[in-house]
Amino acid sequence: MTVFIKSFAAAFSLLLIFPSLMMASDTIEWIIVDYPPIYINEGPDKGEGILNKITELAIKHLPEYQHKISVANINRTMLDFEQKKCVCTMGMIKTDEREKAAYFSTVPSTLLSKNKIIVRKEDRGLFGDSDTVSLEALIQNKSLRLGLTSNISHGKEADAIIDKYKSQANIFYRKGTSVLEGLIQMLLMKRIDYLITLPWMAEYLLKPEERELLSFLAIKECPEIIIYHSLCAKTEWGQNVIKKIDAFLLKERATPLYRSYMEKWMPKDTLADFRLMYDTEFLNIKK
C-alpha cells in the first residue's frame, strides 16, 4: 500500500509540474498551411480562407477537446503526422503516401474546381493551339520548365504523371511558405515556364496588371473536380477524432453556411456549375 501511495504521489506531482501530460490526448492541434485563399493566414483577409472557416466550425462542434492552431508548410505538416503527434487538418487530397501517416475522413470536407496550367501569354505559342494540353507531353518537353510546390498533391492523375518524371531537371520544386505566390513570381520573371494551380487561387494572388500577362490552359489528365478530406494522425487517438469529424461533416456540409465558405472565393461566372457539382457529386461522396 505504501508503495502504491508513493507511486501515485509521484505521478500526481508530475502532472502538477507538467499539466500538458494530462491534457495531451484531449487537445487537437490543427495544422493550417499558407495556401491562400484555401487558407489565409496573413493580410486583410486573415482567417477568412475556406479551410480557416471550416476549421473554426469544426472546433465549435468538438467542445470536448482543447484546441490549438499551428501554421506550418506542407513538409512540416506531413512530418507531424508521421511522428504521430495529436494533429489534424481539415483538408488535403487523399493519396496513398499520406494514408500511411494519417486517417482520412470518409466524408470529404471540400470541393474545388479543377487545376489548370498557367503560362505567360507571350509564350502561349510554345504550348500548342488548343486550350487543353497534356501534362505528360509538357513534362516530356525538356525545354519547358515546370514549377511545383513540394509535397502538394494535384490529384491522383496528375500526381502519377509528376511522380513518373519527378527527377527530371526541368521540374523545379519550391519549398517553404508562400509557395504558390513564389511560383507565380518565378513565372512572371521567366525562371519557370508553367505551373499547376486552381485559376481562382492564382487570381487571388495576382495584381490586376499581372493577370493580363498570363493565360490558363485546361489539363487533359486532370479530373473535373478536386476533393479534399480531413485527416488526423494514424493513431488510436486520431481514429477516434476522425470519426467525430466525419459526423460533423455529414451534418454540416449540406448547410448554406458551409457551402458559403467555398463560394466566397469562386468567380461569379463559375458558381452555377459549382453548385451543380456540389449537389449532385460532392454531397453524394462518402469515401
* Residue 287, pLDDT score: 64
**Structural element, H or E, at residue 63:** none
The CA distance from 30 to 92, in Å, is: 13
* Residue 152, pLDDT score: 86
Q: What percent of the chain has pLDDT over 70?
A: 91
Query: Does residue 15 carry a pLDDT above 60?
Result: no
**Structural element, H or E, at residue 110:** strand 102-113
94 with 159, same domain: the answer is no
37 with 20, same domain: the answer is yes
pLDDT digits (tens, 9 = 90+) for 97-141: 999 999 999 999 999 988 999 999 999 999 999 999 999 999 999
10 with 104, same domain: the answer is yes
3-state secondary structure at position 282? helix
3-state secondary structure at position 114? coil
The closest of 115, 29, 27 to 77, measured between CA atoms, is: 29
Query: Does residue 21 carry a pLDDT above 70?
Result: no
pTM reported for the whole predicted model: 0.84
Structural domain count, the chain: 2
The CA distance from 113 to 117, in Å, is: 13
- Domain edge (last residue) among 167, 189, 219: 219
Determine the structural domain holding residue 60 and report its residue range. Answer: 2-111+228-284
6 with 99, same domain: the answer is yes
